[in-house]
Amino acid sequence: MSIEVDRAACTGCGRCADICPGSLLALDESGAAFIARPERCWGCASCVKECAAQAIALYLGEDIGGLGGRLTVRRDGPLLHWAVRLAGGETKVITVDGRDANRY
Ligand code: SF4
Ligand code: SF4
Protein backbone atom coordinates (compact mmCIF):
# COMPACT_ATOMS: atom_id res chain seq x y z
CA MET A 1 0.00 0.00 0.00
CA SER A 2 1.30 3.42 -0.75
CA ILE A 3 0.50 6.98 -1.68
CA GLU A 4 1.20 9.11 -4.71
CA VAL A 5 1.94 12.82 -4.74
CA ASP A 6 0.61 15.15 -7.42
CA ARG A 7 3.68 17.34 -7.73
CA ALA A 8 1.81 19.99 -9.74
CA ALA A 9 -0.71 20.42 -6.91
CA CYS A 10 1.82 20.28 -4.05
CA THR A 11 2.44 23.68 -2.45
CA GLY A 12 5.53 22.51 -0.55
CA CYS A 13 4.04 23.25 2.88
CA GLY A 14 5.79 20.22 4.40
CA ARG A 15 2.87 19.18 6.60
CA CYS A 16 2.81 15.65 5.21
CA ALA A 17 6.48 15.19 6.06
CA ASP A 18 5.85 16.43 9.59
CA ILE A 19 2.94 14.09 10.24
CA CYS A 20 4.02 10.79 8.65
CA PRO A 21 4.64 8.44 11.59
CA GLY A 22 7.24 6.55 9.57
CA SER A 23 9.14 9.67 8.42
CA LEU A 24 8.68 8.45 4.86
CA LEU A 25 7.91 11.81 3.22
CA ALA A 26 10.29 14.65 2.44
CA LEU A 27 10.58 17.66 0.15
CA ASP A 28 12.90 17.48 -2.85
CA GLU A 29 15.18 20.24 -4.07
CA SER A 30 12.30 21.85 -5.98
CA GLY A 31 10.16 21.96 -2.83
CA ALA A 32 7.70 19.23 -3.80
CA ALA A 33 6.88 16.31 -1.53
CA PHE A 34 7.92 12.77 -2.40
CA ILE A 35 7.85 9.42 -0.67
CA ALA A 36 11.32 8.03 -0.22
CA ARG A 37 10.44 4.44 0.77
CA PRO A 38 6.99 3.61 -0.63
CA GLU A 39 7.34 -0.06 0.34
CA ARG A 40 7.33 1.00 4.00
CA CYS A 41 4.03 2.93 3.80
CA TRP A 42 1.27 1.12 5.69
CA GLY A 43 -1.52 3.32 4.37
CA CYS A 44 -2.50 5.13 7.56
CA ALA A 45 -3.75 8.06 5.41
CA SER A 46 -2.46 10.66 7.89
CA CYS A 47 -0.66 12.52 5.10
CA VAL A 48 -3.73 12.33 2.86
CA LYS A 49 -5.84 14.01 5.56
CA GLU A 50 -3.16 16.59 6.35
CA CYS A 51 -2.68 17.82 2.79
CA ALA A 52 -4.88 20.89 2.31
CA ALA A 53 -4.00 20.93 -1.39
CA GLN A 54 -5.38 17.41 -1.90
CA ALA A 55 -2.07 16.62 -3.55
CA ILE A 56 -1.71 13.19 -1.92
CA ALA A 57 -3.78 10.19 -2.89
CA LEU A 58 -3.84 6.81 -1.21
CA TYR A 59 -3.45 4.08 -3.77
CA LEU A 60 -6.18 1.47 -3.44
CA GLY A 61 -4.59 -1.68 -4.72
CA GLU A 62 -6.07 -5.04 -5.56
CA ASP A 63 -4.99 -6.41 -2.20
CA ILE A 64 -7.73 -4.38 -0.49
CA GLY A 65 -10.25 -4.62 -3.30
CA GLY A 66 -9.49 -1.13 -4.58
CA LEU A 67 -8.61 -2.26 -8.11
CA GLY A 68 -6.19 0.60 -8.65
CA GLY A 69 -8.40 3.45 -7.44
CA ARG A 70 -7.18 6.55 -5.61
CA LEU A 71 -8.47 8.05 -2.37
CA THR A 72 -8.22 11.76 -1.53
CA VAL A 73 -9.95 13.87 1.09
CA ARG A 74 -11.16 17.45 1.32
CA ARG A 75 -11.74 19.07 4.71
CA ASP A 76 -14.75 21.32 5.24
CA GLY A 77 -14.75 22.29 8.92
CA PRO A 78 -15.57 19.12 10.85
CA LEU A 79 -16.56 17.30 7.66
CA LEU A 80 -14.22 15.07 5.70
CA HIS A 81 -15.24 14.45 2.09
CA TRP A 82 -13.46 11.27 1.02
CA ALA A 83 -13.32 10.94 -2.76
CA VAL A 84 -12.71 7.50 -4.23
CA ARG A 85 -11.57 7.84 -7.83
CA LEU A 86 -12.04 4.46 -9.45
CA ALA A 87 -9.66 3.17 -12.08
CA GLY A 88 -12.38 3.56 -14.72
CA GLY A 89 -12.68 7.29 -14.01
CA GLU A 90 -15.84 7.29 -11.88
CA THR A 91 -15.63 9.18 -8.55
CA LYS A 92 -17.64 8.42 -5.42
CA VAL A 93 -17.67 10.78 -2.45
CA ILE A 94 -18.26 9.64 1.14
CA THR A 95 -18.72 12.37 3.75
CA VAL A 96 -17.79 11.72 7.38
CA ASP A 97 -18.49 14.11 10.26
CA GLY A 98 -15.40 14.25 12.49
CA ARG A 99 -17.62 15.11 15.47
CA ASP A 100 -18.91 11.53 15.30
CA ALA A 101 -15.42 10.03 15.51
CA ASN A 102 -15.78 8.84 19.11
CA ARG A 103 -19.45 7.96 18.96
CA TYR A 104 -18.99 4.19 18.55
S1 SF4 B 1 0.99 18.38 2.64
FE2 SF4 B 1 0.42 18.37 0.45
S3 SF4 B 1 0.94 20.42 -0.29
FE4 SF4 B 1 2.03 20.15 1.67
S5 SF4 B 1 4.07 19.34 1.07
FE6 SF4 B 1 2.75 17.56 1.46
S7 SF4 B 1 1.92 17.01 -0.59
FE8 SF4 B 1 2.72 19.10 -0.73
S1 SF4 C 1 -0.08 6.87 4.42
FE2 SF4 C 1 0.78 7.06 6.52
S3 SF4 C 1 2.65 5.80 6.48
FE4 SF4 C 1 2.07 6.17 4.34
S5 SF4 C 1 3.26 7.99 3.74
FE6 SF4 C 1 1.24 8.72 4.46
S7 SF4 C 1 1.48 9.20 6.63
FE8 SF4 C 1 3.26 7.93 5.99
SS3 category, 23: coil
Q: Could you say which ligand is closest to the alpha carbon of residue 27?
A: 1
DSSP run (H or E) holding 58: strand 56-60
Cα distances (angstroms) measured from residue 42 to each of 3, 56, 88: 9, 15, 25
Ligand 2 pocket list (CB less than 6 A): 3, 20, 22, 24-25, 35, 41-47
Q: Which CATH number fits domain 3-100: 3.30.70.20, 3.40.190.10, 3.30.1660.40, 3.40.50.300?
A: 3.30.70.20
**Nearest atom in ligand 2 to 43's CA:** 1
How far apart CA 27 and CA 10 sit, in angstroms, is: 10
Report the predicted TM-score, pTM, of the whole model to 2 decimal places: 0.88
The strand order across the sheet containing 3-5 reads 3-5, 56-60, 69-76, 79-85, 91-97
What is the pLDDT tens value at each position of the chain, 104 positions in all?
Answer: 689 999 999 999 999 999 999 999 999 999 999 999 899 999 999 999 999 999 999 998 776 666 788 999 999 999 999 999 988 889 999 999 989 877 76
Domain ranges of the chain: 3-100
